[in-house]
Amino acid sequence: MASIKKRSLVDQVYDRLRGDIIALRLPLGSRVNVNELQDSLGVSCTPIREAINRLQQEGLIAYENNVGARVLTLDAKDVEEITQLATTLHCAAARLAMKQADHQALAQQFGERMAEFETAQTPQQQVTAVHRLVEVFYVHCGNRRLDKSMLAIQGQQLLLRNLYANHGMDREANLADFRAMLAGVEQNQPEDICAALEANAQRLAQAVCEDLE
């Protein structure tokens, strides 16, 4: 029987704060006050500070002189850089997956994830479906270091996806991108997959930048 791993208090606080930032329950630029978190979470300052440090390393929290910890702020350049890096990693994962994975199995899993997006009822469900859809390439890419590189910026990209979903994600345009990706898998055309990934990323970046203006 597999042992049950107990999650540390730091992990729990980290997951709570990370989820609140990504889901925009903590707005961009809002102050992260340790004393207030102690009261609301009922824990000491030590695990809170450690969780904040982890979120700082992930780029979701920044420290400002004479201010303290704040949720990150974004401008058009930030959105461009996050989008470019994430798309580069997605395309690398897709190319590797196409080289190593069974295309039929890959297409089946991708199609199942696309169906999740089609039936999503809320913006959060849409974001989760898109995340799981792109994740298929990482599952099959066979490169753990590439996967870890994506994890380093995953929080920031999920934040962008939530901003896009709140903007009013264009479901039909996104489905067209996903269908193009699926066709690329079925026809063994990795460059077509990457073209669709890039088109989808640009649509997200444009919508988010419009809201940030």
pLDDT tens track for 55-65: 999 999 998 88
Residue 1 has pLDDT above 60, yes or no: no
Residue 7 has pLDDT above 80, yes or no: no
Residue 4 has pLDDT above 60, yes or no: no
What are the structural domains of the chain?
9-71 (1.10.10.10), 76-212 (1.20.120.530)
Residue 76 has pLDDT above 60, yes or no: yes
The pLDDT value given to residue 85: 96
Residue 3 has pLDDT above 80, yes or no: no
The pLDDT value given to residue 31: 94
Average pLDDT, the chain: 93
pLDDT tens track for 97-145: 999 999 999 999 999 999 999 999 999 999 999 999 999 999 999 999 9
pTM confidence score = 0.90
Mapping DSSP onto H, E and C, the string for the chain reads CCCCCCCCHHHHHHHHHHHHHHCCCCCCCCECCHHHHHHHHCCCHHHHHHHHHHHHHCCCEEEECCCEEEECCCCHHHHHHHHHHHHHHHHHHHHHHHHHCCHHHHHHHHHHHHHHHHHCCCHHHHHHHHHHHHHHHHHHHCCHHHHHHHHHHHHHHHHHHHHHHHHHCCHHHHHHHHHHHHHHHHCCCHHHHHHHHHHHHHHHHHHHHHHHC
pLDDT tens track for 139-183: 999 999 998 999 889 999 999 999 999 888 889 999 999 999 999
